[in-house]
Amino acid sequence: MGYYEQVKGQDLITKIQGLLSSGSCKLRDDGKFMFKSRLSWDTPWHHVRMHPMIKCTLWHQIMFDIVSRNLPAEQRFVPSSCQHCYKVVVRPRTLKQLFALLEMQKKMDLPSKCGIEKRESVHGLYGGYFYNLGLEAGRDCYKKVRVAVNDTPGLGPDVTVLLKRACTEYEHELGPSDKWEITDLQLQIEGLIETLMATNDTMQRQPEHVQRYVHLKWIEWAYSMGDPTYKEFTDGPLYPDYVTYHHLVE
């Protein structure tokens, strides 16, 4: 193998050049690249508890969003670590059920989040997620969550609970999760990123004032989506009704 091919195989700078140019990533004195992940205030999610071993910033935002998406189509990949992530999904149908799910998640104290579904690729207005590493952990969590949803006032057996693998975007872009593979080239790229990239994606906690802002947006979303249960969290309509004249038509 020629020297050019060798250094090209070990090149991370080209793969993350957009991050470097934007200032989101900088070269540290120890030679590692530091990606400044930040807790977002503009989010639809109330994060109840973070999973200590799941590194969404490194795996999803860098490996998939930045590196994989810029590879030739035949080389794109679902990060190998993400392939071990199994999510228990709960689908509340109303704002009232969403708040009931939030209280249930707090009591269970498992790595989880819930919120409004603003993604066009997701069918439903609200969602709750429990995070697990490994299929067996996912199955065990599913059993616990199914029982909890059944027994929680305001939820019940008719609320959908399911177990899925990794993030929805992966299946939409790279096909069904039971067909995913892990290639040697992928492992080489991931090893390069793991070795040279550092993030502050540790056990950050979502501030309470951000959570209150998230709840504010939930209620406004429910109103705009025609969910009448928003009224249970307000002193009346968010906006005054407009004047109508159709009753004057003969």
121/24 Cα distance (integer angstroms): 27
Q: 59 lies in a domain?
A: yes
pLDDT digits (tens, 9 = 90+) for 54-105: 988 889 989 999 899 989 999 999 999 999 999 999 999 999 999 999 999 9
Q: 242 lies in a domain?
A: no
Q: Which region, left, alpha or beta, applies to residue 134 given φ > 0 means left and ψ of -120 to 50 means alpha? A: left
Cβ proximity of 162 and 145 under 8 Å: no
Question: Where in the sequence is the domain holding 22, given as residue range(s)?
Answer: 3-170+182-233
Tally of domains in the chain: 1
Q: How far is CA 144 from CA 96, 99, 205, 237, in A?
A: 22, 19, 24, 37
Q: 163 lies in a domain?
A: yes
DSSP annotation of 154:
T
Q: Which residues pair with 90 in a beta bridge?
A: 128, 161
Q: 29 lies in a domain?
A: yes
Q: 53 lies in a domain?
A: yes
pTM exceeding 0.85: yes
62-71, 78-87, 176-185, 225-234: lowest mean pLDDT where? Answer: 62-71
Amino acid at 11: D
Other C-beta atoms closer than 10 Å to the C-beta of 30 total 7
Q: What are the tokens at 137? A: 């952990």
Q: What are the tokens at 70? A: 């810029």
Q: Which region, left, alpha or beta, applies to residue 214 given φ > 0 means left and ψ of -120 to 50 means alpha? A: alpha
pLDDT digits (tens, 9 = 90+) for 98-145: 999 999 999 999 999 999 999 888 889 999 999 999 999 999 999 999
Other C-beta atoms closer than 10 Å to the C-beta of 11 total 11
Mean pLDDT of 145-153: 98
Q: What are the tokens at 160? A: 């959908």
Q: Which regions of the chain does DSSP assign to beta strands (E)?
A: 25-27, 33-35, 45-49, 85-91, 112-116, 126-133, 160-165, 197-199
Q: 246 lies in a domain?
A: no
221/237 Cα distance (integer angstroms): 13
Q: 177 lies in a domain?
A: no
Q: 145 lies in a domain?
A: yes
